[in-house]
Structure 1
Amino acid sequence: MEQEGDFITCIYYGHISSRATEQLLGRYGQDGSFLLRDSETLPGAYCLCVRKAPFVHTYRLVHAMDGWSLQGNFQSQGFSRQIFHKLETLIETCRRLSSTEIVPLTHPLDKTQLSPLSIGPEYLEMST
């Protein structure tokens, strides 16, 4: 994470649960709001979580020797075969996609804009 820029730092919430993510996006987000968190099931992977009411959709970002990729079956876009050297590039590419396969990422949920007192202790595991 240290090689990433300010954008990733602002949307990266660290080790929070999927339940806490749903609550956070439900309370502070809108359709298209998204954040990045650690995967609960795959060490070293991240989850890109985006709200589209009434759900929060989660996309796993995995790292291999040659870079980051979006895990899943996105063959019609050729996206699952693309490798990105930085998470920020992968997420920005997702934002530009006009696809029915990926929920549009329109509003980054910037943790620096949220008051730690208003969000509660369950979200304070957020990495900085």
Structure 2
Amino acid sequence: MDREGMLVRCIYYGRIGHEATERLLQRFGHDGSFLLRDSETVPGACCLCVRKAPFVHTYRLIPSANGWSLQQDPGVPPQSFGTLETLIEHYRRGSDAGMAPLTEPLDKTQLRHSSLGPECFYMEM
């Protein structure tokens, strides 16, 4: 994540599970809030998690030699982006009607300064 821009560094929560992610987005987010975490099942992949009530939608981002791509249905050619930030910005502009809208990053640096509950210790990397 060191090569990534400020957006990714602010929303990358590392190795937190999907349950902790859902609690964070439900407690501190609103529709369109999103964060990035490590995939629990695919080594090296990340998950882009977006709140769209009443659910948190999770999209797997897969690394490749060409950068990053959104994992899609088999038979759909993936679109590659050089960085995670480029990929996220592409989908923030509403480039894909099938994805929940990405409107506001859930910035972990802002959460550290609010009154956090015990579930938020998962954010530490």
TM-score (norm 2): 0.90
Q: In the alignment, is the contact (CA less than 8 A) between 1:74 and 1:101 conserved in 2?
A: no
- 1:91 maps to 88
Q: Give, in angstroms, the shift of residue 67 of structure 1.
A: 1.2
For 1:119, what is the secondary structure of its paired residue?
A: coil
C-alpha distance in structure 2 between counterparts of 1:11 and 1:115, whole Å: 12
Q: In the alignment, is the contact (CA less than 8 A) between 2:72 and 2:78 conserved in 1?
A: no
1:38-76 C-alpha deviation (Å, 9 max, x unpaired): 00000100000000000000000000112100001398x
C-alpha distance in structure 2 between counterparts of 1:63 and 1:85, whole Å: 10
What are the ranges of 5 or more consecutive residues in structure 2 without an aligned counterpart?
A: none
What's the Cα RMSD here? Answer: 2.0
TM-score (norm 1): 0.88
Q: Using a 3 Å threshold, how does the CA distance of structure 1 residues 82 and 127 change in structure 2: closer, same or farther? A: farther
For 1:118, what is the secondary structure of its paired residue?
A: coil
- 1:35 maps to 35
C-alpha distance in structure 2 between counterparts of 1:120 and 1:44, whole Å: 29
1:64 is the counterpart of 2:64: yes
Q: Give, in angstroms, the shift of residue 118 of structure 1.
A: 2.6
1:101 is the counterpart of 2:98: yes
C-alpha distance in structure 2 between counterparts of 1:34 and 1:74, whole Å: 25
Q: Using a 3 Å threshold, how does the CA distance of structure 1 residues 99 and 67 change in structure 2: closer, same or farther? A: closer
Larger helix percent? 1
Q: Using a 3 Å threshold, how does the CA distance of structure 1 residues 9 and 72 change in structure 2: closer, same or farther? A: same
- 1:19 maps to 19
Amino-acid identity (%): 61
Q: Give, in angstroms, the shift of residue 115 of structure 1.
A: 2.6
For 2:85, what is the secondary structure of its paired residue?
A: helix
Moved more, 112-121 or 23-32: 112-121
